[in-house]
Amino acid sequence: MSAALANIATQPAGQPAALARIGNADWHAIGEALDADGVSTLPNLLTTREAESLAAMYDDARRFRSRVVMQRHRFGRGEYQYFAYPLPPLVQSLRTELYPHLAPIANRWAERLGAGATFPADLDAFLRRCHGAGQRRPTPLLLRYGEGDYNCLHQDLYGEHVFPLQVVILLCEPGVDFDGGELVLVEQRPRAQSAARVVALRSGDAAIIATHHRPQRGVRGWHRVNLRHGVSRVERGRRFTAGILFHDAAGPAGKALDP
């Protein structure tokens, strides 16, 4: 077992209220929405207190393995930090408990696209596959935007093994803590103009989105539709978001930053 997986295995059980909300969600309806549009929502996944406590972690550098200032890389404006292993208990619990509900959808998409790859039923098994291919760096992250900040359209790909779904959780309240800063999805359709969609979220709500593509039925069967996501310009205030990705990134697991 790798060091990262050992850290995962010893994580505390986490927040039972959040886990109950995941278990009680209508996963059939969520799957249908993802099949149709590549996006679905989980309202009230986190309580206000959970969302605020997660956002407050941003200033504790010891929890993170790296920090990215977007404008340095022409990714947009703002910044984000990747958590180090061991992940905070709430983040680990969300990642572990969401994955088994999303894996059947991921396998259905893979079958429709003739991808050949299948995804195991539990997260640890999938991470063993990632780590065996040299993808050992944790990818869950926190993002922070201030006034004038934005995130360019992108896809979160970190190596050969990519889980086709990811979860974005808004950690503050639009219209109160910030204005603007909408989650934007753009679908690039074959032989057609791209279609944009804004996903409205409140504090604690989650959006489940396609990581890079999804299957769509056409007159000749299933074909691949590419999706990218980003964040529109924040007009006022400060916006925090958590990203829960299920594949790890290429490279060693790394350590938390020194305080």
CATH number of the domain encompassing residue 17: 2.60.120.620
pLDDT of residue 213: 87
pTM of the model: 0.90
Which residue segment(s) compose the domain that 47 sits in? 3-244
**Structural domain contains residue 204:** yes
**Structural domain contains residue 156:** yes
pLDDT of residue 255: 53
pLDDT of residue 218: 79
Q: Which of 171, 253, 243 is nearest to 211 (CA)?
A: 243
- H/E run at residue 64: strand 64-69
Amino acid code (one letter) for 229: H
In the chain, alpha helices (H): 3-9, 16-23, 27-37, 48-56, 89-113, 123-132
**What gap in Å lies between CA 173 and CA 191, rounded to an integer?**
38
Q: What's the start-to-end Cα distance of the chain, in Å?
A: 28
pLDDT of residue 16: 52
Q: Do residues 238 and 58 lie in contact, with contact meaning Cβ atoms separated by under 8 Å?
A: no
**Structural domain contains residue 148:** yes
**Structural domain contains residue 252:** no
| Strand 64-69 relative to strand 79-83, pairing | antiparallel
pLDDT of residue 4: 38
pLDDT of residue 3: 34
Q: How many domains does the chain have?
A: 1
pLDDT of residue 35: 95
**Structural domain contains residue 19:** yes
Q: Which of 221, 214, 208 is nearest to 29 (CA)?
A: 208
**Structural domain contains residue 110:** yes
**Structural domain contains residue 36:** yes
Q: Which of 253, 254, 238, 246 is nearest to 99 (CA)?
A: 246
To 10 degrees, what angle do helices 89-113 and 27-37 make?
60
**Structural domain contains residue 255:** no
What is the full per-residue pLDDT of the chain (259 aa) written as tens digits? Answer: 333 344 443 344 444 578 889 999 999 999 999 999 999 999 999 999 999 999 999 999 999 999 999 999 889 999 999 999 999 999 999 999 999 999 999 999 999 998 777 999 999 999 999 999 999 999 999 999 999 999 999 888 888 999 999 999 999 999 999 999 999 999 887 667 778 899 999 999 999 999 998 988 877 888 888 999 999 999 999 999 999 999 999 887 655 443 3
